């Protein structure tokens, strides 16, 4: 009984990890789509991972960013960069996803 | 890859139509090592962006390829900041030689005058000639000291420089156009560096209005520290608004207009407004006149430990739009102050002065601060809290901790 409980717990832990991993992969795929096509980040930023060559904002390959700092920037904007959150250009979920994507590709 | 590029082009069209937009992820989270020996180029391989490959990498802190700061100890000890050490903060991509074309054929239109005209750079060079030292300082210089989360480059002291400009006094140009027409209240300068991007001018054009009176001391500059104005600093022609924050010194200048209203572009209407934390809007003051300010440039925590004995404490001080009158230095965190001595030539009220205090320090740790006055204003102890981290001139944050051994 104890062994089966232990195996059950192991199964859940394993499943959770698998789920997280898939979730992150999904976010990377969706994040790329938002970056290149929905939000238009690619029009202004260089990011090797996205194949983008925009030269208005900072080259994202040259900076290290945390997910929170990207979220802040995407939500409230700066200078010519729109406030994607405040102006309802992107949904909160989209901002979360593209921020995850950028934080995991910028400066790499 | 091909498919991806097609998507990018589509995106570009969306952007130009204003439905999709651009991004500008400034280096909010970039960590800025202060030690000059590893000067934010940890692996030694990350150099400077191509457009400023001629600058001195060891003098600079790279926040991003669009935001590059001068080390506190590299601001220059001979009054003028060498071009290779001057910071970079550009809202639009630097224009290339190809985009600029024949520099002498660069055009600027003068409007809001009795006889509006367009002049080439070659014509401007025949209209007048002067050289003036002014301080170029980003509105956000000192943002890195704010404790609330402020977006934008985390400048400490190095988004500032003292520069010798050569060009034509704007007064001469205005006179050649018959003088200001009507009841203008503002002088509005516009750059053209947004044009190659194809972006919506309302969002991307750097057009800045300042009070009309500024034109009396303003100049149109084509040289910077004795060389043709580098593209990275707004060449071939730049507006110089002495005593006013950097953003008003419009790069790649294409138009100067005397207007009754402030520009309605984003960079005037909503950006560069000094508002309380959590608030924003065009009702708040714009980043115009720079306040009195000073900071220590040597010794600092960048220059390592200091040998006990006689020490020269050196720094720079500015009066904003007034002449800087005095600087006091403290080595005990502001408990006591001694008057420092100005050194080097006085290049006018818009330049900064270097100061020095010779003192003797025994082994221990010290907090060194400087406090400047322009006769009517002096630096406050604390920063003025504001949403975007602008106009910081509090002496406490700008102080340095040193160890004497």
In this structure, is residue B65 part of a structural domain? no
pLDDT in tens, B139-161: 999 999 999 989 999 999 999 99
What Å distances lie between residue B335 and B42, B331, B338, B370, CA to CA?
Answer: 37, 8, 11, 12
Q: Per the structure, how many domains does chain B have?
A: 2
Instruction: For chain A of 108 residues, list the mean pLDDT of each consecutive stretch of 10.
Output: 63 51 84 96 95 93 92 93 95 96 93
Chain A from 49 to 78: CB within 8 A of any B CB: 50-60, 62-66, 68-70, 72-74, 76-78
pLDDT in tens, B157-182: 999 999 999 999 999 999 999 999 98
In this structure, is residue B348 part of a structural domain? yes
Q: How far is A93 from chain B (nearest CA, A)?
A: 17
Q: Is the Cβ–Cβ distance between B292 and A106 less than 8 Å?
A: no
Q: Is the Cβ–Cβ distance between B392 and B141 less than 8 Å?
A: yes
Give the pLDDT score at B9.
32
Taking residues B388-397, what's their average pLDDT? 98
Q: Are residues B316 and B196 in the same domain?
A: no
In this structure, is residue B250 part of a structural domain? yes
Give the pLDDT score at B46.
54
Give the pLDDT score at B200.
95
Confidence of residue B70 (pLDDT cuts 50, 70, 90): very high
What CATH number was assigned to the domain covering residues A25-103? 1.10.760.10
Q: How far is A82 from chain B (nearest CA, A)?
A: 7
d(CA B20, CA B42): 37
Q: Are residues B207 and B308 in the same domain?
A: no
Q: Are residues B177 and B123 in the same domain?
A: yes
Taking residues B358-386, what's their average pLDDT? 97
Q: Are residues B164 and B297 in the same domain?
A: no
Give the pLDDT score at B15.
33
Chain B from 13 to 42: CB within 8 A of any A CB: 14-15, 20-31
Closest to B103 measured CA to CA, from B240, B223, B239? B223
Q: Are residues B254 and B400 in the same domain?
A: no
- For an interface test with B, which of A49, A54, A58 has the most B Cβ atoms less than 10 Å from its Cβ? A58
Among candidate residues B253, B269, B285, the one where a domain is terminated: B269
**In chain A, what are the domain boundaries?**
25-103
In this structure, is residue B321 part of a structural domain? yes
In this structure, is residue B358 part of a structural domain? yes
Backbone angles phi, psi at B268, to 5 degrees: -105, -45
Give the pLDDT score at A10.
57
- The C-alpha R_g of chain B, in whole angstroms, comes to 22
pLDDT in tens, B191-227: 999 999 999 999 999 999 999 999 999 999 999 999 9
Q: Are residues B120 and B171 in the same domain?
A: yes
Q: Are residues B307 and B246 in the same domain?
A: no
**B107 is in which domain, residue-wise?**
91-139+155-269
Q: How far is A38 from chain B (nearest CA, A)?
A: 7
Q: Are residues B213 and B123 in the same domain?
A: yes
CATH of the domain at B340: 2.60.40.650
């Amino acid at each position: 009984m104890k062994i089966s409980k232990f195996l059950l717990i192991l199964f859940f832990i394993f499943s959770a990890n698998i789920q997280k991993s898939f979730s992150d992969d999904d976010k990377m795929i969706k994040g790329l789509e938002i970056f290149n096509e929905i939000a238009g980040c690619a029009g202004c930023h260089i990011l090797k991972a996205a194949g983008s060559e925009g030269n208005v904002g900072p080259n994202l390959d040259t900076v290290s960013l945390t997910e929170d700092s990207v979220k802040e920037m995407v939500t409230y904007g700066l200078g010519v960069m729109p406030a994607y959150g405040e102006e309802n250009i992107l949904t909160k979920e989209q901002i979360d996803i593209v921020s995850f994507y950028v934080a995991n590709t910028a400066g790499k | 890859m091909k498919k991806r590029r097609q998507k990018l082009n589509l995106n570009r069209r969306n952007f130009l139509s204003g439905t999709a937009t651009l991004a500008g992820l400034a280096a909010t989270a970039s960590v800025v090592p202060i030690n000059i020996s590893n000067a934010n180029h940890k692996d030694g391989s990350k150099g400077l962006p191509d457009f400023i490959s001629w600058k001195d990498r060891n003098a600079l802190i790279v926040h991003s390829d669009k935001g590059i700061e001068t080390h506190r100890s590299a601001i220059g000890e001979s009054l003028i900041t060498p071009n290779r050490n001057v910071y970079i903060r550009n809202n639009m991509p630097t224009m290339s030689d190809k985009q600029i074309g024949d520099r002498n054929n660069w055009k600027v239109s003068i409007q809001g005058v009795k006889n509006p005209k367009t002049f080439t750079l070659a014509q401007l060079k025949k209209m007048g000639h002067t050289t003036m030292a002014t301080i170029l300082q980003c509105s956000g210089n000192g943002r890195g000291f704010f404790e609330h989360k402020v977006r934008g480059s985390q400048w400490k002291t190095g988004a500032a420089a003292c520069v010798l400009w050569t060009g034509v006094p704007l007064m001469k140009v205005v006179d050649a156009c018959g003088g200001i027409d009507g009841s203008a209240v503002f002088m509005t300068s516009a750059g053209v560096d947004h044009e190659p991007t194809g972006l919506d001018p309302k969002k991307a054009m750097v057009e800045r209005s300042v009070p009309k009176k500024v034109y009396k001391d303003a100049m149109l500059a084509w040289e910077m520290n004795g060389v043709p104005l580098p593209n990275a600093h707004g060449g071939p022609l730049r507006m110089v608004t002495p005593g006013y924050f950097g953003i008003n010194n419009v790069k790649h200048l294409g138009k100067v207009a005397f207007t009754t209203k402030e520009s309605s572009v984003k960079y005037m209407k909503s950006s560069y407004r000094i508002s309380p934390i959590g608030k924003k809007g065009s009702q708040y003051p714009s980043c115009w006149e720079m306040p009195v300010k000073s900071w220590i440039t040597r010794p600092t925590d960048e220059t390592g430990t200091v040998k006990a004995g006689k020490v020269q404490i050196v720094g720079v001080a500015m009066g904003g739009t007034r002449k800087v009158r005095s600087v006091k230095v403290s080595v005990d965190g502001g408990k006591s102050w001694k008057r420092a001595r100005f050194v080097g030539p006085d290049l006018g009220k818009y330049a900064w002065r270097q100061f020095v205090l010779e003192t003797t320090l025994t082994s221990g740790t010290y907090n060194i601060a400087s406090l400047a006055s322009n006769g009517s204003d002096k630096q406050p102890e604390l920063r003025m809290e504001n949403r975007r981290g602008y106009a910081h001139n509090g002496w406490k944050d700008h102080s340095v901790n040193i160890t004497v051994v």
